[in-house]
Structure 1
Amino acid sequence: MGRAVAGMGSAGIFSGSLIIVAHAIPLAKRPLFNGCISSMFGISSVAGPLRGGLFTDKVSWRWCFYINLPAGAVTILVIAIFFPAPNHHNKKTTWTERIKKFDPMGTTLFLPAIVCLLLALQWGGTTYAWNSWRIIVLFCFFAVLIILFSVVQYTQKENATVPRHILSRRTIWSAAFYSFSVGAAFLSSVYFLPMWFQAVKNASPVSSGIMNLPMLISVVVTSLLAGIIITFIGYYTPFMILGSILLAIGYGLMSMFHTDTSKGIWIGYQIVTGAGAGSGMQQSLIGVQVVLPLADVPTGTAMIIFAQTLGGALFVSIGNNVFRNKLVEYLAKYTPKVDVASILKVGATGLQNIVDKHDLPGVLHAYNDALVQTFIVSAAMASISMIGALCMEWKSVKGKKLAPGGAA
């Protein structure tokens, strides 16, 4: 329950920060500010696990959660003091009408549908067999709930979670597809790359976070550079295409990791991958803000962030399934005498401390070959994201002289 509440808060923080930018900054200057926010997202994606590992090693895992309380309090205070509430054009809206705009029926159907899908993907092939009745029931519930959700969305019209006039825009569904694919690739690798460092390179949680810094720095630098360049040239679509290309190349290179990969190689491959994420991830949000009026920007922004987060959540589960199944296969191939259950139970951290020295090379070989399969999945999703990038409309943030919150 606590993680669910924290997740809702996290979603509100990221989308809320982008909506604040939409209200406060003219469209032509937004790429730079969105680049700053995206660089913060890149920092948090890598620095968060690093901080968590540090707390776990040095203090207590509980501080991974406690630290959010003072940080959240400071953030609330700053927003309350420095960000005035925007003026709403229609102040006569009743509370009932406002609640309807949240689409409670659609939300009630959609959330459990996603939970069923995530549980099925996480448990299938690992905790339970794919043909287990539990997995089948979860997939059936997901299908039924999604169908009911689609019916509700059709009948609710403009009060739907995603109104038809927004979803029908080419840029919107293209940006959502792009964000889903890039989120699937990037967020999955953020989970599995530290695991590779811990298992194959015998790094501690803190050390694996430090070894992730090349990707972090690359994401931050390229996010800012992309924002600056787009502010001058106006066009964001080329950076989405560039991001897809660099991500696919980066993950393709990372899929060639082996147990004796040198430091220079894994640093260089991370830089390429981070450059792809930094170049493209935030541009779908710019596209949404270009084509939508201010009143629809919050909905469009939330849709893109949801697609990105959903892609990451689904493909962490899918990647974990691929990893565990391949690990079992490769352990049987390289070290048939090793107890597979004990290897799966101990995890990546401390793996080299429990495995017999004679069996260790084979176990590390199996771990490496299983983990690089997840990078192949990321490379595939990065390549697929090119479809969304190519389908985007070529519009410029400098198309019109707009006040803050305007649309081209």
Structure 2
Amino acid sequence: MAERTETPISIDVGKESNPSTPVISATEKPGTNRGWHFWGIFLSLAVASLTSALDLSAISNALPVIVNDLHGSQFVWVSSAYTLSSTAFLPMSGGLAQAFGRRPVILFSLLIFGIGSAMCGAAPSMNFFIAARTLQGVGGGGILSLTAIIISDLVPLQERGLYQGLIGISWALATATGPLIGGALAQRGAWRWLFYLNLFTTTLAAMFMFVLLRLKNPAGTIREKLARMDWIGNFIVIAASSSLLIALTWGGVQYPWSSPRVLTPLFLGVAGFGAFVYYEANYAKNPLVPISLMSNRTTVSGYIQTFIMSIIMLAITYYLPLFYQACQGASPIATGVDMFGMTFTVAPVGIIGGASVAASKRYRPQLWAGWCLLLIGTGLLTLLEVDSGRGMSIGAQAVSGVGLGILLTASFFPVLAPLPVSANAHAVAFLIFMRTFGQVWGVAVGATVLQNQLVQRLPEAFTAAPQGAEIAYASVAVLDSLPQPLQGEVRAAFAHSLRVIWQVMAGMAGVGLGVSLTMEHVELRSATDREWDLDEKRVGADEEG
């Protein structure tokens, strides 16, 4: 394919720009000095990322035990409640970071995440647990968003691939140890400590942030800063997101898609997003999501790729452990080991992918390769049977993991390359919004497919029991106690139902590859936004002291 170069959008007016070189605006400056303060901040961001990633990677392996212990049937809400609140808060986190500064917002996010984790660990019932996961999601969304925003503030896009890859080390550690920790604790009936462990990492990250995160803060009184917020836009997007995600969570699982309880929130959510776009484009003084972010096809392509990739990633992460436990009778600890094909490829390959972008100053070849590998990997997952060998299942994971690792790191570049650095906060917050919104779709679509397929495939002797298809996750805990041939029939029903999920994900990977072909090459910027750089006076005073 012939390479075309798209000119990066500049906020400068009246200056000619070379299409092959980004324009440096008045708010831009060469990259930040890499002193010990920078690396201290970077370490604190890595710890914060570890906190969020560990929670995500560990809970899916422990979920059957959690649902069984709390006597719940709404397993999909354990993840959906977290991602719903996280998604709804994400756009606001970018606006808060612009109005109040990065430091107070990320410290607040860590505090909320810690409180939510403590409540999850102490949950006496499933409803309380889901409410705690909702609060935890608000903090988790802020952590994800502010971590990415701060890195964007301090590291030029041209160099960011390497640093995004280094952050991936924390994800590598979490994804490698999370399933094992979650499985070990669940197997011993101590799953609550999975959430209490978050308190340690959250406190550690907050201490690093409080001491080392010396960034410039916007001037103005509290009232002036509050006035900069797009409150109407925030209200609309939170209401629309919540309504739409409730419909996605209920549809086909708790209620039929034709039910008014699904169609009403679905319609209100879609209409709400339409109203949000109209308001942001015509009335918002400080828009939550500036329409200018969608002014070029490369950025739009990056957002869509992020959304699709997130659907596939969460579907695999969430439902592949179920294959090992429900279809092959693996224990939670053994499932953690069986997931090594993913855990030991996603983050390490992300580091390599990010470094390759930094070295080559190109991102399209990496994204194309990532989509091709993900398409192959999800295709291989569709071949899994009850009696498939470990080599087959781990190999399919590994191919998918390599593709996801590349996409996770490289998907930032088509979004940010055409935009001015002054747009970082809003652009990155919306990027993380698309990622978490996609994760909700991944869990919800997978749950809908799984439940609908199980209703059709589970033997009548099983669906007639009190724990029928409506609580498929809870049924995993009792599979070993079922007599043969009923046990084998139930395991086969799970395997065939999960195969349909993999088929849907393979189709989405094909769509993602097609969308990636619409990108144009854009030169990567070599400057950062001086408005959000390190506070040189405070940093200098610390270093002299």
Same fold flag (TM > 0.5): yes
1:264 equivalent to 2:409? Answer no
Matched residue type, 2:215: A
Give SS of 1:349's match. helix
Matches of 1:39 and 1:240, distance apart in 2: 20
Three-state SS of the structure 2 residue aligned to 1:159 is coil
**Alignment partners' CA distance in 2, 1:358 and 1:116:** 43
**Structure 1 runs, 4 residues or longer, greater than 4 Å off:** 93-97
Give the Å deviation of 1:379: 1.3
Deviations 1:43-86 (A, max 9, x none): 54564444333333335332222222221111011122223113
Which secondary structure does the structure 1 equivalent of 2:517 belong to?
helix
Within the candidate set 308, 321, 339, 2:463 is matched to 339
Q: Report the alpha carbon displacement of residue 118 of structure 1 after superposing the two structures with TM.
A: 2.0
Displacement of 1:186 after TM fit?
Answer: 0.8
Contact 2:240 2:272 in 1 (8 A): yes
Against the structure 1 CA distance between its residues 94 and 165, is the aligned structure 2 distance closer, same or farther, given a 3 Å change threshold? farther
State the Cα deviation string for residues 243-285 of structure 1 (Å, max 9, x = none). Answer: 1111111001101100111111111111100000011122121
| CA displacement at 1:123 relative to structure 2 | 1.8
Alignment of 1:275-314 (within 5 A): 275-314=402-441
2:136 aligns with: 6
Once residues 71 and 288 of structure 1 are traced to their aligned partners in structure 2, the CA distance between those partners, rounded to angstroms, is 31
Runs of 5+ unmatched residues, structure 1? none
CA change 1:328–1:404 in 2 (3 A) is same
Q: Structure 1 length normalisation: TM-score?
A: 0.90
Q: Distance in 1 between matches of 2:251 and 2:447?
A: 11
How big is each residue's C-alpha offset from its partner over 1:82-141, in whole Å with a ceiling of 9 and x where there is no partner?
2311365xx3x5545533543211221222222222222222223222222212222232
Tell me if 1:350 matches 2:481.
no
Task: Write the distance in 1 (CA, Å) between the matches of 2:270 and 2:357.
Answer: 41
Aligned pair 1:57/2:187, yes or no? yes
In structure 1, what is the equivalent of residue 380 of structure 2? 253
Contact 1:39 1:278 in 2 (8 A): no
Match of 1:323 in 2: 450
Q: Paired residue for 2:259, among 132, 139, 159? A: 132
Alignment of 1:153 onto 2:244:
no
Residue 31 (structure 1) aligns with: 161
| Equivalent-residue separation in structure 2 for 1:78 and 1:230 (angstroms) | 29
**Range 224-233 or range 188-197, more displaced:** 224-233
CA contact (8 A) 2:329 2:480 kept: no
TM-score, normalisation: structure 2? 0.68
After superposition, the Cα gap between the structure-2 partners of 1:20 and 1:179, relative to the gap in structure 1 and judged at 3 Å, is same
RMSD of aligned alpha carbons: 2.2
- More deviation, 230-239/39-48: 39-48
> How far off is 1:216 after superposition?
1.1
Aligned to 1:359: 486
1:328–1:340: 8 Å Cα contact kept in structure 2? no
- 1:328-353 residue CA offsets vs partner (Å, 9 max, x unmatched): 1122xxx3443355343363533432
Letter in 2 for 1:76: A
Q: In structure 1, the residue corresponding to 2:422 is in which secondary structure? A: helix
Going from structure 1 to structure 2, the CA distance change for 1:169 and 1:44 (only over 3 Å counts) comes to farther
Distance 1:287 1:405, change over 3 A: farther
Q: Percent identity?
A: 28
1:173-209 CA-partner distances (Å, limit 9, x unpaired): 1111000000001111100000001101111222212
Q: 1:324 to 1:108 in 2, by over 3 A?
A: same
The residue type paired with residue 298 of structure 1 is A
Distance, in Å, in 2 between the alignment partners of 1:320 and 1:43 is 28
Closer, same or farther: CA 267–148 of 1 in aligned 2, 3 Å: same
Pair 1:229-2:359 in alignment: no
Displacement of 1:405 in angstroms is 4.6
Q: Does 1:382 align with 2:512?
A: no
Q: How far apart are the structure 2 equivalents of 1:162 and 1:169?
A: 15
Matches of 2:189 and 2:454 in 1, distance apart?
A: 32
How much does 1:370 deviate?
0.1
1:104–1:47 Cα change, 3 Å: farther
